[in-house]
Amino acid sequence: MPFVQLNPPTGPLKTFYSISTPRRHDAQSIIPELPTILFLHPIYIAQQIFEAQFSDYDLRQFNLVALDMRSHGESVGIIGESNKYNPVEDVIHFMNALQLNACHIFGLSIASSVALDMAIAYPNRVLSVTMCSPLSPVDSEDITLGRLQVHEYWKRACLLPEGITRELMARTDKSAMYNEQFLSDAILGIKQLAFNNELTPLTSAIAELSIEQALRHWAGTPEGVLEGYRAAVMWPLERTSLRSQDLAKITCPIRIIYCTEDIIYPLENAEALEAQMSSIGLDVELHTVTGSHYGCVAGAKEINPIVRDLVHSCHISVPSVPFTAEHFSDCLKTPFDDRLEGFNYHPEDDHPLHSLHNGFEKHNIQGIEAIMSTYHMIRDVKQHEKYYIPAGDLHVLVGNTMFRIHSYFFERESPIFSSRRNPASPGQEPDGTSDANPLMLDDVKPEEFEKLLWVFYNPRYSLYDGASPNDWCIILKLAHKWLFTEVKELSARELQKTELEAVRKIAVYEQCSVDPKYIVPLYAELCQRDTPLTFEESSVLGLKGFHFVAVMREKLRSPPSNGGKSPLPEGLELQDVFRAVEEGLSIEVGTTSIPCALPSLPSSPSRSNVSSNSPRAPRLPLSKIRANSIRTK
């Protein structure tokens, strides 16, 4: 997971970020010739709120970049006691660090104010601004009281008894328990603000992951709870009203998006903002879409085209880059999928662009009990029986299991881990130095991480015969995810030796972009065998793999002179084909009528050379047809 160390005016900030392009969901850098959209998230919920944008083909024709703001998500850095939090400088420092010149900015909720402030202070760095669910210039008393009430619930739930430190929490002190009733009230308030408490698999997963992240930043100690107050209450309150003379400095087009189910801010707020900008000649449009306050999820089908068209309008032409990124049936994989899957979101089934607008269906997800299981990790941490090594210098928390291992293997082998272990700013402790400050891995299970560690700590030098095929699949996936090049090669080689079915090896090899030298022999095995793929094997390979095998089998079994064509055996009639299909589909043979409009069977080369006066070849018996037909069961 990529981080970059920044030193903006508010204070040191280790920023977690994501880049997706047409080529990769987890790109290390942008494609320079493409426009870049920078997404800024709101309070409470970090960059995973943009799942429906990063998975969309329409928007992934561009570079998409998102970061976790200060005191949110996976970023490390606090608002602290600074006179005034300056998120604009945080973002500009981030853009400088990643060498992002001018970007299109998408801001959600309070982040739309950040986007607008950027266009005012740095007009040459902002190509366009999309303000989704902008706040009013000054929050009403009711809204402010609502924020304070949510924070009060949070404080009562998450401020631990005096003297309970984070290190004691990591040692499972049972007095370090959060008040679940107050916490559930706080969570309800957050969900009501964000999604009107209408939950789908995606919005539920986004909320659960966000609460887990917030507990790391804003819970346990008075300092943590105070930081939550600064982020969720003071930041919105300290905003200043927009003056026309400041807005006049903006040189880029602006699109305001109002979500019609927003229960916090009325449409009149967005209309007033549009009128103010129009009065000074800015290029501004107001769009209304379906959705709640954090409407980029439920309103993705309407919002994404608005953003796409805005970006295109700012460029004479946009180069076409072929899509090679990993994808599902009708959406692209995102940097957030793996973490959200841990909260029961499955993009291939629950993707927002094909499910969220179907009545905005409510799902029963077992309520607060499902969410609370993630919080108990914080107080139920246990040391791993084998891989909590006293001499280890790297403390890693996976789920509720603490590992203590040697950083040498990880910093030497993996640039991902090396980047997370970069020296922090003066006075700031790097992740992984103690149980109280572990390096946290959210997208892997303890038992999976244990299998990867076995490769490094295997007591039998160069002998790896103690792992099952499933173990090697897990090791391979983690090595690919974290760029352990040597471990990836080892696991691919060892998996090839196992008895795992060829189709399953192909599936995991292609998922992990393994060297084709391992894949070619497996496809050759499927193509040369006597029997076709079964339904189960086809499901594992997927449509692309199944099609490739089917084409190659046909090509290999046709005479070379036919140019890859494989005509039916001589003597086979159309009604014989119907009989074979009926049997293959378990339909009573002979019950399907043959339409007169169907063309007759094409002649094979051998058949076309037979004289018209030659006797007609006898019809093949059904038993012969059965032998030649492909069974579907």
In DSSP notation, 178-238 reads --HHHHHHHHHHHHHHHHTT---HHHHHHHHHHHHHHHHHHSBSHHHHHHHHIIIIIHHHT
Scan for tokens 């095929």, then name that residue.
469
Comparison of pLDDT for 608 and 294, the residue scoring more:
294
pLDDT of amino acid 574: 78
Number of domains composing the chain:
3
**Is 435 part of any domain?**
yes
- Are 374 and 338 part of one and the same domain? no
Per-residue pLDDT at 180 exceeds 70: no
- Are 383 and 478 part of one and the same domain? yes
Predicted confidence band of residue 600 (pLDDT cuts 50, 70, 90): low
**Is 320 part of any domain?**
yes
- 494-530 exposure pattern, b = at least 16 Cβ within 10 A, e = fewer: bbbebebebbbbbbbbbebebeeebbeebbeebbeee
pLDDT of amino acid 74: 95
Comparison of pLDDT for 136 and 623, the residue scoring more:
136
Comparison of pLDDT for 144 and 153, the residue scoring more:
144
Across 523-527, average pLDDT: 90
Residue of 212, 270, 209 whose CA lies nearest to 49? 209
3-state SS class at 433: coil
**Is 632 part of any domain?**
no
- Residue type at 419? S
Per-residue pLDDT at 189 exceeds 80: no
4-33, pLDDT tens digit by residue?
Answer: 999 998 899 999 999 999 999 999 999 999
Question: Which one of 315, 349, 383 terminates a domain?
Answer: 349
Predicted confidence band of residue 488 (pLDDT cuts 50, 70, 90): very high
- Are 284 and 377 part of one and the same domain? no
- Are 345 and 419 part of one and the same domain? no
- Are 166 and 102 part of one and the same domain? no
Of 411-425, 533-547, 573-587, least confident by mean pLDDT is 411-425
Per-residue pLDDT at 123 exceeds 60: yes
3-state SS class at 537: helix
In DSSP notation, 135-157 reads PPSS--HHHHHHHHHHHHHHHHH
Comparison of pLDDT for 129 and 548, the residue scoring more:
129
pLDDT of amino acid 185: 60
Across 110-117, average pLDDT: 95
The torsion region of residue 86 among left (phi > 0), alpha (psi -120 to 50) and beta comes to beta
**Is 582 part of any domain?**
no
Q: Which helix (H) or strand (E) holds 107?
A: strand 103-108
- Are 331 and 372 part of one and the same domain? no
Identify the DSSP state of 392.
-
* CATH number of the domain within which 299 lies: 3.40.50.1820
Give the separation between CA 95 and CA 78, rounded to whole angstroms: 19
Of 11-25, 412-426, 547-561, least confident by mean pLDDT is 412-426
Of 91-95, 118-122, 405-409, 421-425, least confident by mean pLDDT is 421-425
**Is 515 part of any domain?**
no
**Is 600 part of any domain?**
no
- Are 109 and 169 part of one and the same domain? no
- Are 246 and 122 part of one and the same domain? yes
Q: Are the C-beta atoms of residues 374 and 210 closer than 8 Å to each other?
A: no
- Are 158 and 107 part of one and the same domain? no
pLDDT of amino acid 613: 44
**Is 362 part of any domain?**
no
Give the separation between CA 514 and CA 518, rounded to whole angstroms: 7
Q: CA of 129: how far to CAs of 113, 285, 396, 493, in Å?
A: 10, 11, 39, 49
- Are 371 and 478 part of one and the same domain? yes
Per-residue pLDDT at 254 exceeds 80: yes
pLDDT of amino acid 563: 65
448-485, pLDDT tens digit by residue?
Answer: 999 999 998 887 656 777 789 999 999 999 999 888 99
- Residue type at 333? K
Out of 97-106, 516-525, 530-539, give the one with best mean pLDDT: 97-106
Question: 556 phi and psi, to 5 degrees?
Answer: -70, -25
Predicted confidence band of residue 241 (pLDDT cuts 50, 70, 90): confident
Q: What is the dihedral of CA 108, 110, 116, 117, to 10 degrees?
A: -140
Across 428-444, average pLDDT: 78
- Are 379 and 450 part of one and the same domain? yes
* CATH number of the domain within which 432 lies: 3.30.710.10
- Are 31 and 132 part of one and the same domain? yes
Across 136-153, average pLDDT: 79
Across 403-414, average pLDDT: 88
For 300, the domain range is 3-137+239-349
Comparison of pLDDT for 166 and 446, the residue scoring more:
446
Mean pLDDT score of the chain:
81
Across 175-187, average pLDDT: 54
Across 589-614, average pLDDT: 57
Scan for tokens 């070619």, then name that residue.
520
Q: Are the C-beta atoms of residues 12 and 424 closer than 8 Å to each other?
A: yes
pLDDT of amino acid 200: 85
Residue of 496, 502, 629, 484 whose CA lies nearest to 568? 629
**Is 378 part of any domain?**
yes
353-362, pLDDT tens digit by residue?
Answer: 544 333 333 3
Q: Are the C-beta atoms of residues 19 and 3 closer than 8 Å to each other?
A: no
